[in-house]
Amino acid sequence: MQFHLKDSAGRTGRPYLAAAEPARRQKLTGTGRKKGAFTLVEVVISMAIVALVFAGIINAYIQTGLRLEWTGYSLAAQSLALETIEQARSTLWDPTQYPPVNEIYSLNLMGTATNATTATWTGYAYNTLDVPVPTGGTPVLATNYVSVQMSYVSTNVNVQMEIVTVQTVWPFIRYGNNVYFTNTIATIITPDNRNASDF
């Protein structure tokens, strides 16, 4: 059956077929259109991008953890070096006594040696880093290399001073390998006498 549609002015338009209504509705609503979707290539590329992003994030977390652990080890080694410096500063050095007293050469060190040419006294000591150790783990050992060098003021040889240098060598395990680092502290120690006439 065929009908003719009329507009508001009463004019007859194109014929209206009832059988064409479903097709017209599909066209208007879009149900008859071809549906779009992601292709396999697009999915693979998207997954690769997501994997790269997550790999970067995970690697950043790992590097941050390693750097935090390294900082803890370095601070512990710095404390060991500073401890030796404080021991040297607390010793008595008074050249005005008879005989002159210099207890800095009595520090508890191993392998002590004296170089008369450079007026340097050296030695070393082992100590444990103050870092957390897991249950059943092995404490981390560090080595303090100490050198004490006698020096004089160029304009007055009676003004003495000792340059104390402490180098703390400590290991850091990274990817299964020991990597060694060194923390260095130096200070100058002067005699304990305060009598200006001695100079």
Write out the chain's pLDDT in tens, 199 residues: 555 555 555 566 565 555 555 555 555 555 555 566 778 888 899 999 999 999 999 999 988 988 998 999 999 999 999 999 999 998 888 887 778 888 888 888 999 999 988 889 999 999 999 888 877 778 889 999 999 998 887 777 677 889 999 999 999 887 778 899 999 999 999 888 655 565 5
In a domain, 96, yes or no: yes
Spell out the residues 6+ positions from residue 96 whose beta carbon is closer than 8 angstroms to its own: 191, 193, 195, 198
Under a CB-based contact definition with an 8 Å cutoff, are residues 161 and 148 in contact? no
Write out the two tokens for 98: 């008879």
Query: Which string of DSSP letters, residue by residue, matches 56-73?
Result: HHHHHHHHHHHHHHHHHH
Which pLDDT score is estimated for 158? Answer: 73
Eight-class DSSP state of 118:
T
What pTM was computed for the model? Answer: 0.68
Domain count, the chain: 1
The rounded distance, in Å, linking the Cα atoms of 23 and 164 is 97
The rounded distance, in Å, linking the Cα atoms of 123 and 145 is 6
Which pLDDT score is estimated for 57? Answer: 93
The rounded distance, in Å, linking the Cα atoms of 144 and 167 is 6
Under a CB-based contact definition with an 8 Å cutoff, are residues 16 and 5 in contact? yes
In a domain, 121, yes or no: yes
C-alpha dihedral, 18 to 19 to 22 to 27, nearest 10°: -90
In a domain, 18, yes or no: no
Q: Tell how far CA 99 is from the center of its chain.
A: 50
Write out the two tokens for 188: 């100058």
- Residue 102 belongs to domain spanning: 41-198
In a domain, 21, yes or no: no
